[in-house]
Structure 1
Amino acid sequence: MKRSMMQTVFLLAFVFYSLCAGASVIQEKAYDICKYGAKGDGKTLNTNAINSAIKDCAENGGGTVLIPKGNFLSGTIYLKDNISLVLRKGAVLKGTADVSQYKSYTPLGNFSMFDSGGDGENANSAIDPHWNRALILGVGVSNVSIEGEGVIDGNHVFDSEGEENMRGPHTIIIAESRNILMRGITMNCASNYAFMAYKIEDMVFHDLEFNEGWDGIHIRGGKNITIRNCRFFTGDDAIAGGYWENMVISDCHINSSCNGIRMIMPATGLTISNCTFAGPGKYPHRTSKEKKRNNMLSAIILQPGGWGKAPGEIRDIYIHDVSIDNMNNPLMIVLNEGNTGDNILVERMKATRINQAAVSIESWKGGTFGNVAFRDISISYEGNKNPELKNLQVSQPPADSRLLPCWGWYVRNVRNMVLENVVLNYRGEEARPAFWLNNVGKAELIQVNYTGSEDVGAIMRENTGTVIKR
């Protein structure tokens, strides 16, 4: 169930290659945008100057397009092959408040599999030009980097015709592209997602910081992706998307007023490791508007089909060495219509001050989970003494976590589950049982300790086979 040695070697080699490749681009000729008429006064619209520098650089074989110290206002700029866009320390690339200055990405193929939201307020489509506007567009490009010590500021551009009648353009869209590096940059105040991608391959995000805005990194269709040593302080989900293949998220600090990692479409070969998840959110949830809600929801929520039908499997998921504190729910994995799940392993997860919902592994209109295992887990909950909660009728979850009729662990439609060296406790009083098992083929509880373990009704079973405790 663990990632194979060959996969690990490949990913490490890929990260090393990408970082070195980015460094080699910088050594080429530099094209300073100020030499093309750009002015860092925070007032001049520099779109044409920046695009001219990029065009000239690309036509001469590639190299570095340099944004020096200053506040450079711009509309949409277009990345090209073999370009390194470098923001020096003190440089700010800022999106203009004029929404007419943003251009759209239009996919060449049928990307309907990436649509989400159904007919709701948050519906979005890959072929919607209004949805797919961005400050920086990279379409069909390769060997590109965005790096430096500067800031890319989305400027929280308001658009009454955007999603939720308020969202503006994304800060960056990369689509149908490969061999991409983002490194060192700080991204502030995204008007929608800070980074949005469709069908990308071989990309590394390294040492980035995300502040405010909506989602931090949102990828729909990604292969061989590494997100490492990044810091998220987002007003919506920190990392989201789906249809991922071989994605590694490691050594990141994640703070959000929504979810930490939210997967809304299938994935295979996903590793989440050595990350910290801490609530409440530093910045309020953008969509909550004047309510300024900032409680963090789930640290990790894997829910293919959670925002509209997204058929496929979640398989070979490895979550390990994660720390979680002060949020509604530590971990939630849900299958919906057309989804299956197998080979899911969680190890060395510690969660404290969990204040609403138990860990849940549940399938509804989807298929049954195959093998799931949890080892070396410690979770501390805030108790809830309301006696009515144990009579809750559980149904398919909404978009986010919710109260359940148990306080510790909820399982539905799983063939084989192993819990080993697991400690669950709560602070205060609690009226619900610790576990709720519904249609579980076999459950092994090995050295599982939990508050109230001596109670006869601590484990509720519905249509459940063998439960082995040792």
Structure 2
Amino acid sequence: MKKLGTLLFFLFVLVNVKAADFDITKYGAVGDGTTLNSQAIQKAIDACYKSGGGKVVIPAGKFLSGTIAIKDNVTLYLQKDAVLLGSIDLKDYQNLDPFTEGLGIDVGWALLVAVDAKNIGIEGEGTIDGQGSAIKAKHILTDTRPEGKRWGLRPFLVRIVRCTGVTVKGVTLKYAGAWTSHYFQSKQILIENVKIQSVGVAHNDGIGIDGCQQVRIKDCDVVSGDDALVFKTTSSLMACKDIEVSGLRLKSSQAGIKIGTESIADFENIKITNCHIYDTKNGGIKLLTVDGAHIRNVLISDITMDEVRTPMLFRLGSRLNVFRKNTETKKPTGTFENVVIRNVKAKAADQAQLTPPSGILITGVPGHDITNLTLENIEITLAGGGTAEDSRVAVPEAIDQYPEVKTFGPKIPAYGVWARHVKSLKLINVKFNLGSNDVRPALVCEDGKDVTVSNWNLPETKGAEAIIRLENVVSANVNGITAKGEAQALVRVERTKSASITVANNNAPSIKKEVETIK
């Protein structure tokens, strides 16, 4: 019994040691906003780790720091009114996993880092503030290179690298020097009730998921200077896979939701639902594979957008970049298949990258079609204003270029949907509203196969050559179209390769011809 009692005592002590909190002030941290606390905070983390894990507590106060590393079984807990404040001196930061981002800049320095760790967390009601604008202001005093070359030295706010079991919950992330949060090749991630306010310098992406799996993101509020929620793969070794996102509010100077641009490994089994995107300056939803990735089995549904420049862009291209040049090689062109976008209502911004604005851009490259893309229950309100000349603009292929809305602009020949190099494209229950007359077609499809256009509700327009234009399209079914305006033709079929076009059950009483074929 004595031995049993002794054993129970030691077990009790062990459990309580593991559950203990490690207050950073007990290790010398000072919350005055000026004392550099990197070493003190790291000592608290190391002590917690050596004890078997627990909470490292940052109490109320402003704790200035450079790079600190979270270790196995450690949760960094920020109490209410606690601020982890990033140093504005670049020498206080480390790059524990260097890589090259999509524009060719070497990056990876960060304030808060975890590398090859298990069961870690960043939680609480406090704030992590990177002081990005102040870092830049100090940096440019001595670094006279153009901004596009020097920005990569500035630190990310949070970097999670090859970790398993990650929880980021409740905290506020503010004003990163570069990307706000970057999760790389990690698994079993929960990001919940996180608020991001990160603007002031370039490249302030909000939540960046880079080759991660088993990810859940919910109920977050993101205001970012760059893409608000972005999935990327900067290494070919691990796909973005098995991801669920719901309940996000997203505002961005770039895109609201983006897959790519860095896209060397696959994106699959991704579900994004019940999100609101607003005041974005460069796209609402953008799905882009240009470096060899396969995008497949993606569902995005129940999305609202307000004042969004160019609501949707879908791109399969052949840029074929490599981001870890010392260890990886180029891949062949990827694929884009089995993607569903459903239940989307958007108010497009009147002033956009495209003049006049367009709603949806879909384009592969010659020999590589976007395949089995379904857009269903879509309503988009646009400014209108397109001319007959705009309706005949030739859009560049830009096969190996950076994939961006402006890459294909400044004008697009359709106000609603422009699609090129597509196969098994389904456009079902689509409605457009226009603020002014637009004589461009609602839909232009070039080089398409097996195209379905069903149950569209289109606004009154006057003077259009056609409501829908099909160029080199083989096998298309256009049915259930309600078009209130006047035009020469409901469907205009052009180019010698067009064939097997079925047009039926449409309601367009003021349009002269249902089908006009031009060879």
TM class by shorter-chain length? 0.7 to 0.9
Instruction: Using the TM superposition, name which of 455-464 and 160-169 deviates more.
Output: 160-169
Partner of 2:313: 332
Contact 1:381 1:427 in 2 (8 A): yes
Q: Deviations along 1:151-177, whole A, 9 cap, x unmatched?
A: 000111223457543451111111111
Q: Which residue of the other structure, out of 32, 39, 58, is the alignment partner of 1:67?
A: 58
2:110 paired with 1:134: yes
The 5 A counterparts of 1:378-457 are 378-396=379-397, 399-401=403-405, 402=409, 403-452=411-460, 457=466
* CA pair 62-312 structure 1, distance change in 2 beyond 3 A: same
* CA pair 115-101 structure 1, distance change in 2 beyond 3 A: closer
Percent of aligned positions with the same letter in both sequences?
29
2:271 and 2:175 map into 1 onto residues whose CA distance is: 28
Q: Deviations along 1:64-123, whole A, 9 cap, x unmatched?
A: 00000000000110110000100000000000111101011136xxxxxx7443xxxx31
Partner of 1:150: 126
Q: Which residue of the other structure, out of 150, 153, 156, is the alignment partner of 1:170?
A: 156
Q: Deviations along 1:401-428, whole A, 9 cap, x unmatched?
A: 1331110001112211222221112111
Partner of 1:341: 336
SS at match of 1:324: strand
Contact 1:25 1:83 in 2 (8 A): no
Q: TM-score, normalised by structure 2?
A: 0.76
2:79 and 2:367 map into 1 onto residues whose CA distance is: 49
2:316 and 2:386 map into 1 onto residues whose CA distance is: 30
* CA deviation after TM superposition for structure 1 residue 437, in Å: 0.5
SS at match of 1:465: strand
In structure 2, runs of 5+ residues without a counterpart are 1-14, 234-239, 319-332, 351-356, 480-519
Contact 2:310 2:348 in 1 (8 A): no
Q: Which residue of the other structure, out of 236, 255, 259, is the alignment partner of 1:259?
A: 255
Bigger RCO of structures 1 and 2 (CA < 8 A, at least 6 apart): 1
1:57 and 1:141 map into 2 onto residues whose CA distance is: 14
Contact 1:335 1:366 in 2 (8 A): no
Q: Which residue of the other structure, out of 212, 237, 250, is the alignment partner of 2:246?
A: 250
Contact 1:336 1:366 in 2 (8 A): no
Q: Deviations along 1:173-192, whole A, 9 cap, x unmatched?
A: 11111110100010111000
1:173 and 1:71 map into 2 onto residues whose CA distance is: 21
Instruction: Using the TM superposition, name which of 342-351 and 241-250 deviates more.
Output: 241-250
Partner of 1:464: 473
Structure 2 residue identity aligned to 1:400: E
* CA deviation after TM superposition for structure 1 residue 453, in Å: 8.0
1:372 and 1:25 map into 2 onto residues whose CA distance is: 54
1:71 and 1:366 map into 2 onto residues whose CA distance is: 56
Contact 1:25 1:82 in 2 (8 A): no
SS at match of 1:316: strand
2:180 and 2:360 map into 1 onto residues whose CA distance is: 29
Q: TM-score, normalised by structure 1?
A: 0.84
* CA deviation after TM superposition for structure 1 residue 456, in Å: 5.7
1:202 and 1:166 map into 2 onto residues whose CA distance is: 31
The 5 A counterparts of 1:174-253 are 174-213=160-199, 214-243=204-233, 244-253=240-249
2:256 and 2:189 map into 1 onto residues whose CA distance is: 20
Q: Deviations along 1:434-453, whole A, 9 cap, x unmatched?
A: 11101111222221111258
Instruction: Using the TM superposition, name which of 256-265 and 60-69 deviates more.
Output: 256-265
